[in-house]
Amino acid sequence: MSKYTEDDLREELKTKEYEYGFYTDIESETFPIGLNEDIVRAISKKKEEPQWMTDWRLDAFKVWKEMTEPEWANVNYEKPDFQAIAYYSAPTAVDPNKTLDDVDPDLLAMYKKLGISVDEQKKMNNVAMDIVVDSVSVATTFKKTLGEKGIIFMSISEAIKEHPELVKKYLGTIVPTKDNFYAALNSAVFSDGSFCYIPKGVRCPMELSTYFRINQAGTGQFERTLLVADEGSYVSYLEGCTAPSRDENQLHAAVVELIALDDAEIKYSTVQNWYPGNSEGKGGVYNFVTKRGLCEKNAKISWTQVETGSAVTWKYPSCILKGDNSVGEFYSIAVTNNYQQADTGTKMIHLGKNTKSTIISKGISAGKSQNSYRGLVQINSRADNARNFSQCDSLLMGNECGAHTFPYIEAKNKTAKIEHEATTSKIGEDQIFYCNQRGIDTEKAIALIVNGFSKEVLNKLPMEFAVEAQKLLEISLEGSVG
């Protein structure tokens, strides 16, 4: 019987299973656990980095050693033991310049399981893809097509070697090493990630996409993404993430920096589906991420995120609206179930005149989870006629979960217009019965209602990923209950 009572629903949600929880047995090389200067040096050496990069990492490491983990987020977890993690793991014998055709067949089989048939993606979706397993970028597709337009899309390790002037110019300018504890850690030990540069006036003809996966046990993943859109250019970028189911907690501390120069536009979408832990709250990924973008004159940055995974999420994709008339957007769906905890939101820093920001946040909480929106809208004294609109909606399932909203507003200019709306609702038995009566079972009904609730944000995703994200919402909330 799949009829709906609060208890049934709760029961049902508990039995959800993580679909991506397989481990692929690919040969890999992993560094010993622990973190010290030698490890930082070894990572840099392994990646054959120039001296300036090694020094940059070592500086970051020094800064990190003096810092303590932030405590202000509305999350509770056992602090990771940073000396018990391996900071580098890579599938062996991977030549980063390989094309997908020569990639280890086991890896390709893994992508299939992830639901991304790379071939298909290549053909149908017009998506260029970079795949990062554990710490290393495995393959970047479409390099040639992009090259013709002068677009650089490669792993950050390659970029450090091939385009040091660009990396040097922008790395750490938006998220400085000492920005926060995890950003400092990332700066010291980041293993790979993506680099992207769109030249002046170029409209990137396809979606750029990176797929991250933690495969090895006991490793942390620290990717670094740097995306520069030169004047008048446009790019849409998507990242996806999964990890195997494991009993211990895995650490993921990424840094993403976006730079949109005058008149440029960046659309950055994330579908985050790290392993959330089991129904008792054991295991799962700690997702501590710093994402920030800078907008110059008339530039626009749009963050769209669908966050369904991770045991603990700490993440605030932000926009610094430096240039006049620049625009920042944040569209977010965060789903928490079982014992998951999410503290996520955004910061919109208005520095320029006539800057505009929009925040749409949809939080969906089930099980015993805690879901917090935390957002800062800051209007600087020189930011005449700045505008912000924020809307934070929460949908609750059952009585044991929590939804929280922490909006902070700092306006130092009288011409600012700031609007904030917030709603909280519950999936009602009447809604479920109505769907049931039309032949839609409870599981599907919840999916339908949740998708409806999230629609404004789903609509912002590139079309081919919206479908995937929609499926992900269903899986996260229902699992394989029949």
Partner 1 sequence: MLKINNLHASIEDKSILKGINLEVKAGEVHAIMGPNGSGKSTLASVIAGKEEYEVTDGNILFEGEDIEELAAEERAHKGVFLSFQYPIEIPGVSVTNFMKTAINETRKAKGLEDMPAKDMLKMIREKSELLEIDRKFLSRSLNEGFSGGEKKRNEIFQMAMLEPKLAILDETDSGLDIDALRIVANGVNKLKSKDNAVVVITHYQRLLDYIVPDFVHVLYNGRIVKSGGKELAHELEEKGYDWIKEEVNA
| Interface with partner 1 (CB under 8 A) | 1-5, 428-431, 433-442, 444, 448-449, 451-456
Instruction: Provide the minimum distance between the beta carbon of 80 and partner 1 in the complex, in angstroms, as a whole number.
Output: 38
**What one-letter code names the amino acid at 250?**
Q
Taking the C-alpha atoms of residue 145 and residue 128, their distance in angstroms, rounded to an integer, is 9
HEC string for 203-226: ECCCEEEEEEECCCCCECECEEEE
Taking the C-alpha atoms of residue 117 and residue 121, their distance in angstroms, rounded to an integer, is 6
Taking the C-alpha atoms of residue 113 and residue 105, their distance in angstroms, rounded to an integer, is 12
> CA angle at residue 225 from 223 to 227, to 5 degrees?
175
Do residues 309 and 475 touch, judged by C-beta distance below 8 A? no
Residue labelled with tokens 């620049």? 326
Burial (CB count within 10 angstroms: exposed 0-12, middle 13-18, buried 19+), residue 216: buried
Instruction: Provide the minimum distance between the beta carbon of 192 and partner 1 in the complex, in angstroms, as a whole number.
Output: 38
Instruction: Provide the minimum distance between the beta carbon of 271 and partner 1 in the complex, in angstroms, as a whole number.
Output: 19
**What one-letter code names the amino acid at 150?**
G
Nearer to partner 1, 387 or 460 (CB): 460
Pairing status of strand 327-336 against strand 224-229: unpaired
Nearer to partner 1, 2 or 145 (CB): 2
Instruction: Provide the minimum distance between the beta carbon of 449 and partner 1 in the complex, in angstroms, as a whole number.
Output: 6
Instruction: Provide the minimum distance between the beta carbon of 360 and partner 1 in the complex, in angstroms, as a whole number.
Output: 12
Nearer to partner 1, 75 or 461 (CB): 461
SS3 (DSSP) at 126? coil
Instruction: Provide the minimum distance between the beta carbon of 464 and partner 1 in the complex, in angstroms, as a whole number.
Output: 18
Instruction: Provide the minimum distance between the beta carbon of 439 and partner 1 in the complex, in angstroms, as a whole number.
Output: 4
Measured over the CA atoms of residue 69, residue 71, residue 73 and residue 75, the dihedral's sign is positive
Nearer to partner 1, 147 or 428 (CB): 428
Nearer to partner 1, 173 or 480 (CB): 480
Do residues 186 and 222 touch, judged by C-beta distance below 8 A? yes
Nearer to partner 1, 148 or 430 (CB): 430
Nearer to partner 1, 399 or 437 (CB): 437
Helix (H) or strand (E) holding 272: strand 265-273
Nearer to partner 1, 306 or 327 (CB): 306
The residues, ordered by sequence, that sit 6+ positions from 105 with a Cβ below 8 Å of its Cβ are: none
C-beta neighbour count of 247 within 10 angstroms: 10
Nearer to partner 1, 3 or 203 (CB): 3
Nearer to partner 1, 54 or 436 (CB): 436
Taking the C-alpha atoms of residue 264 and residue 326, their distance in angstroms, rounded to an integer, is 10
Instruction: Provide the minimum distance between the beta carbon of 429 and partner 1 in the complex, in angstroms, as a whole number.
Output: 7
Instruction: Provide the minimum distance between the beta carbon of 444 and partner 1 in the complex, in angstroms, as a whole number.
Output: 6
**What one-letter code names the amino acid at 274?**
W
The token pair at 362 is 């949809």
Instruction: Provide the minimum distance between the beta carbon of 481 and partner 1 in the complex, in angstroms, as a whole number.
Output: 13
Do residues 361 and 391 touch, judged by C-beta distance below 8 A? yes
Instruction: Provide the minimum distance between the beta carbon of 46 and partner 1 in the complex, in angstroms, as a whole number.
Output: 48
Instruction: Provide the minimum distance between the beta carbon of 333 and partner 1 in the complex, in angstroms, as a whole number.
Output: 12
The residues, ordered by sequence, that sit 6+ positions from 224 with a Cβ below 8 Å of its Cβ are: 156, 171, 186, 187, 190, 192, 193, 254, 255, 256
Nearer to partner 1, 331 or 339 (CB): 331
Nearer to partner 1, 191 or 454 (CB): 454
Do residues 242 and 213 touch, judged by C-beta distance below 8 A? yes
Taking the C-alpha atoms of residue 221 and residue 251, their distance in angstroms, rounded to an integer, is 6
Measured over the CA atoms of residue 14, residue 15, residue 16 and residue 17, the dihedral's sign is positive
The token pair at 355 is 């800057």
